[in-house]
A and B are shown apart, each in its own frame.
Chain A
Amino acid sequence: MNATPEQVVELLRQTNFSTLDWAIVVVYLCVSLVIGVWVKQYATDMAAYIGAGRSVGVWLGVATMTGTELGLVTVMYSAQIGFTGGFAAFHIAVIAGLVTFVVGATGFVVAPLRALGVLTIPEFYERRFDRKTRVVGGVLLSVAGVLNMGLFLKMGSIFIVGVTGLSPDSGALTVVMTVLLLLVLAYTVMGGMISVIITDYIQFVLLSFGLLLTVGVAIWRLGWENIFQVVAAEKGAAGFDPLQGEGEFGPEYVLWMLVVGLIGCAVWPTTVARALAMESTQAVRRQFMWSSISFTARFLIPNFFGICAFVFFSTHSTEMRELFLSPLPGGASSAFTPSLYAMPVFLGHLLPTGVLGIVAAAMIAAFMSTHDSYLLCWSSVITQDIIAPLAKSEMTDQRRIFITRLLIVAIGGFLLFWGLFYPLEGDTIWSYMAITGAVYFTGAIPVLVGGLYWKQASTAGAFSALLMGFTALVGLEPVRQTLAKTLAPVMGDSETIAAALSAERCGLAALLLTCVMFVAMSLLFPDTRPDARQRD
């Protein structure tokens, strides 16, 4: 049996989400908005606006970093991976946690960056290399960063549509996307990092307890042993062993996750921005060691929701099984992606009224805490590292804050456009994010690590490594497909070529290329003057 579009809508409407749940969500949103706008009075200069006056304590740092990195998009893509890959997906969480702990214990990259007192990563590029590297680094960082968050808005809206039982084809997705965006823009534009940190804290509290509550209810309803048994019966060993090539992952994927895990905590700008806002390097280290727990949980818990959704739809009813576990017929519903809708629809069926409202508010909290931080991060990079260095005269703090606010709104507009028009077929969301992020981080890893720890690192090496980062774009599904079709006449079947150009393989190859370029160009074209740190 194949579900018709009407049956899809009808099945999605069978949710426990009620008026009480809507009321809980609306009250939460109002409280968050009011607090976010209230703290606007403290954003008096640029250091306060984008760095919260560098006065954030360890616990608040842990809460706000968790709030930022445990976004709704993370919940959505991790649930999708859990749904398709089973317990084998847990390897991503374990790697992320271990790597974050090691970075905290050693202070790798983040401690020396905080010690330098820079506000953004490209600012370090200028101090270590030159202004040109700062501008190029800023351009790459903002392009990759904005592209990377391109699907956040859509993912958040899919969650809300799925959990509330709205129709994915009725235009509800666009309306939800617009409303969510306007809410986040309102308080981020006004209060900057101070609003972001305070609202992140509230969102952390709601989110943490909401997630723990949901895990408890899921285990209680589905049965602890039953969850493992159903995955074993349906997916076999591939549902548990991440190294099995015939499953969703394999050794290359695991290696790629190791790289992505390191980037996620030591090089990714929104995480580094939190480190740079801490009161001391010691606080940075403690913040990262504690955050290793939440860096594990941010993948593990949503993975588990995806697994539970898989178990639920495998055993619930024939209609649900057909809808979520069978390939979708062409004309069934263009806006419906089963693996993405699985987790929110599952929660809509699992949680009772009232609890569902709290969990939905927690997920919206996750959505907002990530959006505000990312919007502020990319817009401040464009202001501080592209516009200000290129400006003919010194820009005042007020002028910088004004430009940053305009950019936040402009990026918001892009997110709405991109979310509506980017095709989701083929890529999992996680692959999309890893590859768009790779445009920045494949270049940033050698430049940051080499710049901090290798005396012979030169401007030419940094410049070429940053530019080489663009090669990671080959890993995006539309680019891979186009490339495969172009190469097909000379290299054979286009499907085989596209399969060989897997996202993880393209990402690893791009990283290798940038590292080789960085070392080779640094040795061939050394700097003739000492770096700014030595000049100071």
Chain B
Amino acid sequence: MSVWIMIWKVVFVIALSAFAVLAVGATIGGARDVVTLLNKLKQDRSNTKSDQ
């Protein structure tokens, strides 16, 4: 049982640390991507309007 306890402790610490890093990365990078996405959709919409 003590081996399993050690395994789950290590797994938990590693997974949680990785998730914290991911949360920060995706928050910053995601904000940039949202702006890019909206700009592209805005561009698409004006292209559609000019085609009409």
Q: Are A240 and B22 in contact (CB under 8 A)?
A: no
The A265-310 residues at the B interface (CB cut-off 8 A) are: 290, 293-294, 296-297, 300-301, 304
CB distance from A301 to the nearest CB of B (A): 7
Interface residue total, chain B, C-beta cutoff 8 A: 34
B39 to A: closest C-beta gap in Å: 9
**Interface pair B5/A56, CB less than 8 Å apart:** no
Interface check A93, CB cutoff 8 A: yes
Instruction: Assess the B33–A56 pair: CB atoms within 8 A.
Output: yes
| A228 engages B12 (CB within 8 Å) | no
State whether B15 touches A44 (Cβ < 8 A). no
Within 8 A of A (CB), among B8-39: 8-9, 11-12, 15-16, 18-23, 25-34, 36-38
Q: Are A44 and B45 interface neighbours, CB within 8 A?
A: yes
Given A60-B29, A228-B9, A293-B15, A212–B45 Cβ distance below 8 Å?
no
Set of chain A residues within 8 Å of B26, measured between Cβ atoms = 59, 62-63, 66, 204, 208, 290
CA distance A343 to B31 in the complex (A): 32
The CA of A87 and the CA of B4, in the complex, are separated in Å by 9
Q: Which among A47-55, A130-138, A439-447 touches the partner chain?
A: A47-55
Q: A402 at the A/B interface (Cβ < 8 Å)?
A: no
Q: Is there an interface contact between A94 and B41, defined as CB atoms closer than 8 Å?
A: no
Q: Are B29 and A58 in contact (CB under 8 A)?
A: yes
Among A56, A87, A198, A293, point to the contact of B22 (Cβ < 8 A): A293
> Are B40 and A53 touching (Cβ within 8 A)?
yes
Closest A residue to B40 using CB positions: A55
Q: Is B48 an interface residue (CB 8 A)?
A: yes
Q: Known: A87-B8, A237-B4, A241-B1. Contact between A194 and B36, CB under 8 A? A: no
**What is the CB-to-nearest-CB distance from B48 to chain A, in angstroms, rounded to a whole number?**
6
With contact pairs A42-B42, A240-B1 given, residues A57 and B32 touching in the complex (Cβ less than 8 Å): yes
A62 in contact with B1 (CB, 8 Å) = no
B33 touches A232 (CB 8 A): no
Interface size range on A against B: 35 or more
User: Is A479 engaged at the interface, CB distance under 8 Å to the other chain?
Assistant: no
The answer to whether A90 touches B45 (Cβ under 8 A) is: no
State whether B33 touches A59 (Cβ < 8 A). Answer: yes
Q: Is the CB of B30 within 8 A of A301?
A: no
Q: Which residues of B contact A197 (CB under 8 A)?
A: 37
In the bound complex, CA of A48 to CA of B23 (Å): 27
Shortest A285–chain B CB gap in Å is: 16
Is A30 part of the contact surface with B, judged by Cβ < 8 Å? no
A94 touches B25 (CB 8 A): no
Q: In the complex where A87-B4, A240-B4 touch, is A304 in contact with B19 (Cβ < 8 A)?
A: no
CB contacts (< 8 Å) of B37 on chain A: these are 52-53, 55-57, 60, 194, 197
Q: Are B12 and A300 in contact (CB under 8 A)?
A: yes
Most chain B beta-carbon neighbours within 10 Å: one of A58, A88, A232, A240: A240
**Given A41-B45, A297-B19, A62 and B11 contact (CB-CB distance below 8 Å):** no
With CB as the reference atom, state the residue of chain B lying closest to A52. Answer: B37
A60, A62, A237: most-surrounded residue (chain B CB, <10 A): A60
Q: Which residue of A lies closest to B8 (CB)?
A: A87
**Binary interface profile of A, 28-52, with partner B (CB < 8 Å = 1, else 0)?**
0000000000010110110010001
The chain A residues found within 8 Å of chain B, CB to CB, are 39, 41-42, 44-45, 48, 52-53, 55-63, 66, 87-88, 90, 93-94, 97, 194, 197-198, 201, 204-205, 208-209, 211-212, 215, 228, 232, 236-237, 240-241, 290, 293-294, 296-297, 300-301, 304
With A59-B26, A63-B27, A63-B30 given, name 12 new contacts (CB 8 A).
Answer: A48-B41, A53-B44, A56-B33, A57-B37, A61-B33, A63-B26, A97-B15, A194-B37, A194-B41, A240-B5, A290-B22, A296-B15
Identify 27 residue pairs between A and B in the complex whose beta-carbon atoms are under 8 Å apart, listed by A's number.
A42-B38, A45-B48, A53-B37, A53-B44, A57-B29, A59-B26, A60-B30, A63-B30, A88-B4, A90-B11, A94-B11, A197-B37, A201-B30, A201-B34, A204-B26, A209-B23, A212-B19, A232-B1, A232-B5, A237-B1, A240-B1, A290-B25, A296-B15, A296-B18, A296-B19, A297-B22, A301-B16
